[in-house]
């Protein structure tokens, strides 16, 4: 039996941050597992079985088509068979993580639950998953990374651990699953894992799997900090290293690993103690690491309160990738993140490096610029390993009709010159706007799980001139679905194809 440590609810609420009081950071950020914990601890798991059917609406596809809310989306692609896609999202009313799979380039989708371990102890204990990310290796294995949160007995959260599940059939089922890095202390909590793989044909570390995350809540550096686990045996086992400055205060979040064309391993994250986008690199397959570096300083520290996320806050985190094409910018590193504008709104900026992260370009916006105030947030970035194009998707309030920046769409931005400039105008990926702030009193809109809204990120994958953004969408919030306990679809997972 694993040892447990009971964490009082106040401590749970603050696990993801220790913030200085500022104009942009007026309250604690709600981690995306928090809304799920609140619902499940009060109501138990929902009765819905999680059946998934695809539904195309004007080029947009409802990936989940499932009872209750889903949020915080991710998508990946098998480069050996590019029409094979896999995705994931948080469930809010049910315990497990949700996985999605498509073999026809995203036209139709199926769904499956990812495995969870047994509760820690006793019949009153439970657990759930949160924070999805997925990747294929070159052998067609799919790896699904998430955290597991243990709770029960009315005593709050017992602890957390990492999970990496493997599928050998494109995400239709998950067999092998590795649970590791259990944390039970009040100062540490596994949060925001992201996974990647070395898919470079000539890399000495080909098919290594890398997962980066933070265990630094509370600022205690002991056993905390920004961590990376690597697997050299196709996910059967993982070994861990620390990638940030071990003498620092351990105040970071949003780690993202990414791999260069020769097997270089990079990790970037939000160092909110120093208020920078931080970075480190390894040239031996993640065994050893350089000293922590800085990509850029920023204005927003940890998160930003914006109208579209009225019941939570938009998190500042990097999304990064490397040009692995044979083009002129092969090896160039790209990182994007959200920051505040002089007008007090949020925008998405990008910087790049041609010397493996030693120096970085001045950050510049990847979005269309307007005279009116517009918020952009929850971006993801994917470089095309065939064309070298740099692609970014994000939530955007430019089409808001309330006058209050409540309504969001997903937009897509592309650079064909290595991140120096981006095509204008941006492409609208969503064919209908979502409003998760205000339902204008329409019943039964109050049933929507406002606590989680879009979550902390959305996903994007690009290959051979085709991109697949994926996002949380509430256009079907008032529609019923057969078997739904609430009789509402609420937030759904949507995707589309951008060529």
Asked if the structure places residue 52 within a domain, the reply is yes
**How far apart (Å, rounded) are the C-alpha atoms in residues 93 and 452?**
11
pLDDT band at residue 40 using 50, 70 and 90 as cut-offs = confident
Asked if the structure places residue 202 within a domain, the reply is yes
pLDDT value at position 483? Answer: 62
* Each residue's pLDDT tens digit, 147-180: 999 988 667 888 899 999 999 999 999 999 999 9
Q: Given a cut of 90, is residue 328 above it in pLDDT?
A: yes
Comparing CA positions, the residue from 85, 87, 43, 102 lying closest to residue 68 is: 43
**How far apart (Å, rounded) are the C-alpha atoms in residues 378 and 408?**
11
Domain count, the chain: 1
Asked if the structure places residue 67 within a domain, the reply is yes
Asked if the structure places residue 3 within a domain, the reply is no
- The pair of three-digit structure tokens given for residue 119, joined into one six-digit string: 């509760």
Q: Given a cut of 60, is residue 55 above it in pLDDT?
A: no
Q: What is the mean pLDDT of residues 343-357?
A: 97
Q: Given a cut of 90, is residue 453 above it in pLDDT?
A: no
pLDDT value at position 185? Answer: 60
Q: What percent of the chain has pLDDT over 70?
A: 84
Q: Given a cut of 50, is residue 4 above it in pLDDT?
A: no
Asked if the structure places residue 1 within a domain, the reply is no
Name which of 35-49, 64-78, 355-369 the model is least confident about: 35-49
pLDDT value at position 123? Answer: 67
Q: Given a cut of 70, is residue 243 above it in pLDDT?
A: yes
**How far apart (Å, rounded) are the C-alpha atoms in residues 145 and 122?**
26
Which residues, including other chains, have CB under 8 Å from residue 103's CB and lie 6 or more apart? 83, 84, 170
3-state secondary structure 433-499: CEECCCCCCCCCHHHCCCCCCCCCCCEEEEECCEEEEEEEECCCCCCCCCCCCCCCCCCEEEECCEC
Query: Is 253 exposed, middle or buried, given 0-12, 13-18 or 19+ CB atoms closer than 10 A?
Result: buried
Q: Given a cut of 50, is residue 25 above it in pLDDT?
A: no
Asked if the structure places residue 4 within a domain, the reply is no
Domain containing residue 20 = 9-495
Q: Given a cut of 90, is residue 478 above it in pLDDT?
A: no
Q: Given a cut of 60, is residue 9 above it in pLDDT?
A: no
Long-range contacts of 273-277 (CB under 8 A, 24+ apart): 273/219, 273/248, 273/249, 274/248, 275/301, 277/318, 277/335, 277/337, 277/351
Asked if the structure places residue 311 within a domain, the reply is yes
**How far apart (Å, rounded) are the C-alpha atoms in residues 52 and 110?**
6
Q: CA-CA distances (angstroms) from residue 11 to 68, 157, 185, 187, 459?
A: 28, 9, 11, 9, 30
Mean pLDDT over each residue of the chain, to the nearest integer: 87
Asked if the structure places residue 72 within a domain, the reply is yes
Can you tell me whether residue 39 is helix, strand or coil? helix
Q: Given a cut of 90, is residue 451 above it in pLDDT?
A: no
Alpha carbon distance, N-terminus to C-terminus of the chain: 51
- The CATH number given to whatever domain includes residue 341 is 2.120.10.10
Q: CA-CA distances (angstroms) from residue 478 to 445, 446, 466, 488?
A: 7, 10, 32, 6
**How far apart (Å, rounded) are the C-alpha atoms in residues 95 and 72?**
15
* Each residue's pLDDT tens digit, 282-302: 999 999 999 999 999 999 999
Q: What is the mean pLDDT of residues 49-57?
A: 42
């Amino acid at each position: 039996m694993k040892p447990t440590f009971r964490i009082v609810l106040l401590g749970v609420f603050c696990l993801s941050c220790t913030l200085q009081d500022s104009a942009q950071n007026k309250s604690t950020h709600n981690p995306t597992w928090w809304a799920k914990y609140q619902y499940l601890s009060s109501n138990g798991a929902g009765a819905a079985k999680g059946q998934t059917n695809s539904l195309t609406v004007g080029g947009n596809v409802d990936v989940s088509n499932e009872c209750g809310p889903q949020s915080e989306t991710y998508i990946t692609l098998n480069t050996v068979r590019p029409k094979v896609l896999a995705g994931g999202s948080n469930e809010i009313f049910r315990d497990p993580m949700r996985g999605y799979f498509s073999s026809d380039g995203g036209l139709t989708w199926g769904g499956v639950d990812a495995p969870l371990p047994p509760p820690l102890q006793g019949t009153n204990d439970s657990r759930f998953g949160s924070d999805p990310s997925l990747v294929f290796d070159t052998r067609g294995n799919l790896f699904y990374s998430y955290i597991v949160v243990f709770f029960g007995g009315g005593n709050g959260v017992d602890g957390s651990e990492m999970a990496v599940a493997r599928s050998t059939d494109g995400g239709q089922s998950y067999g092998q699953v590795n649970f590791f890095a259990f944390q039970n202390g009040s100062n540490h909590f596994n949060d925001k894992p992201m996974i990647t793989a070395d898919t470079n044909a000539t890399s000495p570390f080909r098919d290594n799997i890398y997962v980066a995350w933070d265990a630094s809540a509370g600022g205690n550096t002991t056993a905390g900090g920004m961590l990376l686990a690597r697997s050299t045996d196709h996910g059967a086992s993982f070994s861990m290293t620390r990638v940030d400055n071990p003498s620092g205060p351990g105040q970071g979040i949003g780690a993202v690993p990414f791999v260069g064309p020769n097997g270089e391993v990079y990790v970037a994250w939000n160092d909110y103690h120093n208020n920078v986008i931080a970075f480190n690199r390894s040239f031996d397959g993640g065994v050893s690491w350089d000293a922590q570096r800085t990509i850029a300083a920023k204005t927003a520290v940890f998160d930003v309160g914006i109208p579209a996320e009225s019941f939570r806050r938009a998190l500042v985190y990097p999304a990064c990738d490397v040009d692995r094409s044979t083009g002129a910018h092969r090896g160039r590193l790209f990182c994007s993140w959200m920051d505040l504008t002089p007008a007090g709104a949020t925008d998405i900026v990008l910087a790049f490096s041609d010397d493996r992260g030693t120096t970085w370009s001045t950050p510049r916006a990847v979005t269309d610029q307007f005279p009116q105030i517009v918020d952009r947030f929850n971006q993801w970035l994917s470089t095309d390993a065939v064309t070298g194009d740099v692609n970014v998707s994000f939530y955007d309030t430019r089409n808001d009709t309330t006058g209050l920046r409540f309504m969001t769409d997903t937009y897509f931005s592309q650079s064909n010159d290595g991140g120096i400039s981006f095509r204008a105008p941006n492409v609208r990926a969503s064919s209908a706007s979502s409003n998760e702030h205000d339902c204008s009193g329409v019943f039964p809109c109050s049933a929507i799980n406002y606590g989680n809204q879009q979550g902390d990120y959305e996903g994007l994958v690009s290959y051979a001139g085709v991109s697949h953004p994926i996002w949380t969408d509430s256009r079907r919030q008032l529609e019923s679905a057969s078997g739904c306990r609430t009789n509402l679809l609420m937030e759904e997972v949507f995707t589309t194809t951008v060529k």
